[in-house]
Structure 1
Amino acid sequence: MTAGNDPGVLSDEDLLRELGSLYDTRLDALRHAADQAYAEHTRRMNQLEAEYLRRRPGREIDPARLREGARAR
């Protein structure tokens, strides 16, 4: 299995595309992948998410996603 490109060298567009692709296959990996493949999927997801957070430390937080917002619904 290929490790993929270093997330630090991906453009923002490529980073989001890679994350989207991983999220599209996450449930299938959880349910059906061999332990090693699932671990690799998780490792790659963590890598890409960490890079996203590094680039956007002040990302917009949806108030409805906060505890107070959830209670208001």
Structure 2
Amino acid sequence: MSDAGGRHRGVGPADLDDQQLLRELETIHRTRHDALLHGSQNALVAHSIRMTELEAEYLKRHSDRPVAPGRTREGARARSE
């Protein structure tokens, strides 16, 4: 997959199997903080685009994923009471 500038950005998320997709997501989330603090503007934009693409593919495949009650607005409100 290439971006508008023709730079290589890795395999398209739709072309990854579930295990590869999860591995890519784990890696990109682990490297996010470093990209934010120390990456160039272009690197941060590329990182953001790739992360969004990977997350969108995961959500497309797993739209029925279980959501932890504490991760909802209602759950958060219950914690603060």
TM-score for the superposition, normalised by structure 1: 0.93
Q: Which runs of 5+ in 2 are unaligned?
A: 1-6
**Superposition map of 1:1-73 within 5 A:** 2-73=8-79
Unaligned runs of 5+ in 1: none
TM-score normalised by structure 2 residue count: 0.85
- The structure 1 segments of at least 4 consecutive aligned residues displaced by more than 4 Å after TM superposition are none
More helix by share: 1
The one-character-per-residue Cα deviations of 1:6-65 (angstroms, maximum 9, x if unpaired) are 110101000000000001100000011000011000000001001001101111111111
CA–CA distance in 2 between the matches of 1:29 and 1:15?
20
Query: How many residue pairs are counted as aligned between the two chains?
Result: 73
SS of equivalent to 2:67? coil
Query: Quick one: percent identity of the two aligned structures?
Result: 49
Q: Which has the larger radius of gyration?
A: 2
> By how many angstroms is 1:2 displaced?
2.8
